[in-house]
Structure 1
Amino acid sequence: MPKILIIDDEINLRETIAEMLTYLGYEIYLSTDGLDGLEKVKSVQPHLIICDIMMPVLDGYGFMEHHQSSDYKHIPVLFLSAKVEPRDKEKGIALGVKDYITKPFTFKDLKATIDLFLT
């Protein structure tokens, strides 16, 4: 069963995504900020990470800077963010994210993007 780590400080969104992905058979782990997310990556070793950008403590960009220099940099990261400026996407891609999904999004689109990296 593929493991997915969701790092997002918006509890309703995080829980909704988790519930939908659990229903589809994924094993889901949750984190509220980038710093906690880095710890969860070590303990869980997920197959995929979905990460918001704007979060307290350590934002998504900071998470990626640490993630790319870790032993777990092979784990793909998808950014899921309300930041829609082209420079935000460019920065994420430059930091190593595999894809950038903007909020609002459809669950169908999220699932299709997840499938690209877990198949």
Structure 2
Amino acid sequence: MSARDGLDADERHLLVVDDDDRIRDLLKKYLSRAGFRVTAAADAGQARKLMSMLDFDLMILDVMMPGEDGFSLTKSIRARPGRQTPVLILTARGLPDDRIEGLALGADDYLAKPFEPQELLLRVEAILRRAGPRPVVQRRLSLGPCTFDVERGELSRDGKPVRITEAEAQLLRTLAKAAHAPVDRLALAPDATDATGRAVDVQVTRLRRKIEADPKNPRYLQTVRGVGYMLAPDE
């Protein structure tokens, strides 16, 4: 079965993370021709920024990258709350111990370089079949008189635009992905230098002033004690 024979590949969004420009471009072109939507990143830092803004159906991660490696990134992905995105480890390190480490950290599959593109495609399709149908994510969330467009990152109130910063938009996107479930406050700002999460608290306070009828008693952007925050849109 090919990606176009039942997996709705055109709706499946893949993230390729590899510091080798040639391999990254090759994978992007090959998987795009197979019908997938593909986004690429050169390192873990870029990948994290993309993950904070976009939903991916599968991630293909190189292990040997400058800075944070693929194993560390896989471990942090598995520690994130909410839906667990499948991970395929792609690396020149094909030793059994490396494969065991990658799988133990939560990777769904492991493919050693050099590899045949067709084998990579078959492994991607197999992982996606095991993952099941893509969850339906609401494009617009109703927050009383406010509406948040998840894809555009735009907030409106009574049909009129409400100005929010990019950081506030990303925070709302992350909460929207796990609507009605608590999200750790530190997970809301994975790239923040403030390890206390204080910057997130400030953003939440500002958003409540824009969304809530009574910011001191929030209905939609709730605090979950001991955990973080939860977005509770109208059903």
TM-score tier, shorter chain, comes to over 0.9
SS of the residue aligned with 1:55?
coil
Q: How far apart, in 1, do the equivalents of 2:88 and 2:72 lie?
A: 14
Q: Does 1:26 align with 2:26?
A: no
Query: How much has 1:73 moved relative to structure 2?
Result: 5.7
Which of 50, 69, 72 is the matching residue for 1:62? 72
SS of the residue aligned with 1:25?
coil
Q: Does 1:97 align with 2:107?
A: yes
Contact kept? 1:41, 1:72, Cα under 8 Å: no
> 1:1-119 alignment to 2 at 5 Å?
1-71=11-81, 74-119=84-129
Answer with 1 or 2: which has the greater Rg.
Answer: 2
Q: How far apart, in 1, do the equivalents of 2:76 and 2:82 lie?
A: 10
- Which structure ranks higher in relative contact order (CA pairs < 8 Å, sequence separation ≥ 6)? 1
SS of the residue aligned with 1:84?
coil
Contact kept? 1:34, 1:60, Cα under 8 Å: yes
TM-score using structure 1 length:
0.94
Contact kept? 1:38, 1:67, Cα under 8 Å: no
SS of the residue aligned with 2:35?
coil
Q: How far apart, in 2, do the equivalents of 1:86 and 1:17 lie?
A: 24
Query: How much has 1:72 moved relative to structure 2?
Result: 5.5
SS of the residue aligned with 2:81?
coil
Query: How much has 1:101 moved relative to structure 2?
Result: 0.2
CA RMSD after TM alignment: 1.2
Runs of at least 4 residues off by over 6 Å: none
Percent of pairs with identical residues: 28
Query: How much has 1:19 moved relative to structure 2?
Result: 0.4
SS of the residue aligned with 2:16?
strand
Q: How far apart, in 2, do the equivalents of 1:98 and 1:117 lie?
A: 7
Contact kept? 1:3, 1:27, Cα under 8 Å: yes
Contact kept? 1:80, 1:103, Cα under 8 Å: yes
More helix by share: 1
TM-score using structure 2 length:
0.49
Alpha carbons of 1:72 and 1:46: their partners in 2 closer, same or farther (altered >3 Å)?
farther
Unaligned runs of 5+ in 2: 1-10, 130-235
Q: How far apart, in 1, do the equivalents of 2:24 and 2:77 lie?
A: 20
